[in-house]
Structures are given as C-alpha cells and as structure tokens.
Amino acid sequence: MFISQYDKEPIDQKPIYIDSGGKPIYWSLFHGVDAKVLSYLNTWCSEHNKVLRICGRTSGEDGLEREFFAKRLTTAKWTYFPKLDSYSTYKLLDSAEIIVVIESTVGFEALARGKKTAFFSCRGAIMNVDAFKFGWPLELPDTGPFWTNIADDKEFKRILDYLNMASNDEWESIRKLYASDLMAFEPGNGRFVALLEQLLGTDVA
C-alpha cells in the first residue's frame, strides 16, 4: 500500500512551499518525488506479483488524484481507495502487508501500530530541505533497515526486499528499536485519559 500525499496542481503555477532559505518549491518538483517512487513500485510490484493499493488523500473515486496514479502505474496491478471518512485510512493500513510512504504522518502511525512500513524519505534530498529527512528532527543516518533519504532504486529495492522476506518476529525486533522515538502508540490512550482526569478532576473514560 502506498500512502498518497497528492494535492491538486495550482492553476496559477505558484509555488506550493517556500523553504527556510526562501527557495520556492513548485508542484512539479514536490510531486516529482512521488512519481519516482511510483515508478519503482510499478516495477517491484509487477516483478513480485503484488497488488499495489493506493490509500487516497481525497474523497473522489474518479478525480484528479486517481488520474495522477493511473498515468504512472502502467504494468502493476493496482487499486485506488479514496478517503471515505476519518477511519477509512486506518482500516486500509491494518489490512496491508507492506506500507510505503514518503513522509506522511500516517506512515509513522502505521509504524507505531506495528505494520511493516517502508519510508522512502527522499523528498528532502531532492528539494534540499533537511526537515523532510526521515525522523527529523531526530539525527538519524540517511539509511536504515526500513528507511532511506536517498532517491535511488537500489535503496528502494533493499528496503522492500527486506520487508517482504522478514518474519513478523524479526520485523518487530527491528521496529521496537526506533518506533518509540518516532511516534509512541498506546491502545486506549490510558496515560492521556489519566492526565485529562487529573486536570479536569472528573472521570472522562
């Protein structure tokens, strides 16, 4: 499953992002990263007989977002799932075998929930913006067991092949080394509920 970060191209062609140095980032450069990742997923899924599911960001089944993917997924079997409601994304995450993300927060949520998650965090390298690196502001190496900040097909292959072959126990042992520093997950939010009760002086459960 690929987590989409698609947004519509501005009609006026204005930049969609200004970096800390004042450099304008245009839609074509920002989403050129998505196109590169999709190009590799198109090949890898075809070679491994995997169905690529797209977790959409927008609600329309036949809109511009789906068209964006249709132009780039030419050989792989794929299905587009629009966003239906606040919970549809999480239902899709829980059903996925491997999740691929560039830098969406949803990817970190998937990792926290224990899902095999590949982070192709190469937008920062292409745009020369450190804030898009994996785990920023943590100081992590450019490559790790399930992430890369390098826009290279060999890196994409390394990570996907590892996640495809790793047992659930092996994955969990690796995931635990990093997950709590990236995004903690506590089913039921017990500590948060306890804090609210302490602050409000009442039972909120």
Q: Find tokens 């969990």 and name the residue.
A: 172
pLDDT of 95 higher than 90: yes
Residue reference for tokens 């072959």? 165
Q: Tell me: pLDDT of 194 over 60.
A: yes
pLDDT in tens, 117-129: 999 999 988 888 8
Looking at the chain, the whole-number percentage of residues with pLDDT higher than 70 is: 92
**Global pTM?**
0.86
Burial 38-60 (b: 16+ CB within 10 A, else e): bebbbbbbeeeebebbbbbbeee
Q: Which of 31-35, 129-133, 192-196 has the largest mean confidence?
A: 31-35
Q: What is the mean pLDDT of the chain?
A: 89
Q: Higher confidence at residue 48 or residue 181?
A: 48
* DSSP label at residue 130: G
Which residue type sits at 102? Answer: I
Q: Does the structure show a pLDDT above 70 at 195?
A: no
pLDDT above 70 (res 184): no
Contact 15, 24 (CB under 8 A): yes
Backbone angles phi, psi at 170, to 5 degrees: -65, -45
What are 133-156's pLDDT values in tens digits? 999 989 999 999 999 999 999 999
Q: Summarize the confidence of residues 162-174 as an average pLDDT.
A: 97
Domains of the chain (ranges, CATH numbers): 2-200 (3.40.50)
Is a pLDDT exceeding 80 seen at residue 131?
Answer: yes
pLDDT at 199: 76
**What is the pLDDT confidence band of residue 187, given thresholds at 50, 70 and 90?**
low
